[in-house]
Amino acid sequence: MIDLHTHTLFSDGELVPAEHLRRVEVLGYEAIAITDHADSSNLDFIIPRIVKVAEDLNRYSRTRLIPGIELTHVPPAMFAELVALARKLGAKVVVAHGETVVEPVMAGTNRAAIAAGVDILAHPGFITREEALLAKQQGVYLELTGRKGHSLTNGYVAKIAAETGALLMVNADAHGPGDFLTAEMARMVALGAGLSEEQYTQLRKVMSSFITKLV
């Protein structure tokens, strides 16, 4: 299991990073990214702390902790500078809080985030075909999410990814202990979105390859 979109008490999650990591280690995870919510007000506070705790905990855990960040409700015009800053501060995974249908995310966020080179466009809602094609060109992953509400458009996202060749990944968007996906639940998220068993197997291989590049 790999999950590259989760939250701790550094934003609106419930756990300190050590317990967060231990919970998924017990579930048999290969790797997990902590990607707490951020904008220009707290980016430089969160990332160095996650980098430090990853250095500490990775000495003792079978599950690899990867430092990341989720740029959340950021004005589209700010994405390029904030993605660059996040990388400079040590974020290995940069997630964009996409245009989910259950929050008032600013129009143009999906396109700006993809153009800025984020790694993952989380819960992208009714992403356009043009944006999905750009994501394919940029190597940006579109997310199938296990999170209630955001998951309403999983089927649409899977369909447009199939039509355009855009990359997909499954993440929990976990905020607490009850949110972490088991291997079977992650499979159900993918199959429920319309992927075949073969497509899900390939998705897992692609995610493992992505992790190999990071570590």
**To the nearest whole number, what is the mean pLDDT of the chain?**
97
Distance of CA 82 to the CA centre of its chain: 16
DSSP the chain: -EE--B--TTTT-SS-HHHHHHHHHHTT-SEEEE--EE-TTTHHHHHHHHHHHHHHHTTT-SSEEEEEEEE-S--GGGHHHHHHHHHHHT-SEEEEE---TTS-PPTTHHHHHHHHT-SEEES--S--HHHHHHHHHHTPEEEEE-STTGGGGHHHHHHHHHHHT--EEEE--B-SGGGPPPHHHHHHHHHHTT--HHHHHHHHHHHHHHHHHH-
- Bridge partners of 170, per DSSP, are 144
Residue 107: pLDDT above 80?
A: yes
Q: Please report which confidence band the pLDDT of residue 215 belongs to, taking 50, 70 and 90 as the band edges.
A: confident
**Is CATH 3.30.2130.10 the right assignment for the domain spanning 2-214?**
no
pLDDT tens-digit series, residues 179-202 = 999 999 999 999 999 999 999 999
The pLDDT of residue 147 is: 98
- For the cut 90, the answer to whether the pLDDT of residue 213 exceeds it is no
**Residue 148 CB partners (closer than 8 Å, separation 6+):** none
Res 178 pLDDT > 80: yes
Calpha distance 130→122 (Å, rounded): 17
| pLDDT tens column, 50-101 | 999 999 999 999 999 999 999 999 999 999 999 999 999 999 999 999 999 9
Least confident span in 40-44, 121-125, 146-150, 208-212? 208-212
Share of the chain above pLDDT 90, in %: 98
Q: Of 200, 109, 187, which is closest to residue 161 (Cα–Cα)?
A: 200
pLDDT digits (tens, 9 = 90+) for 6-60: 999 999 999 999 999 999 999 999 999 999 999 999 999 999 999 999 999 999 9
Asked if the model's pLDDT at residue 126 lies above 90, the reply is yes
pTM: 0.97
pLDDT confidence of residue 179: 98
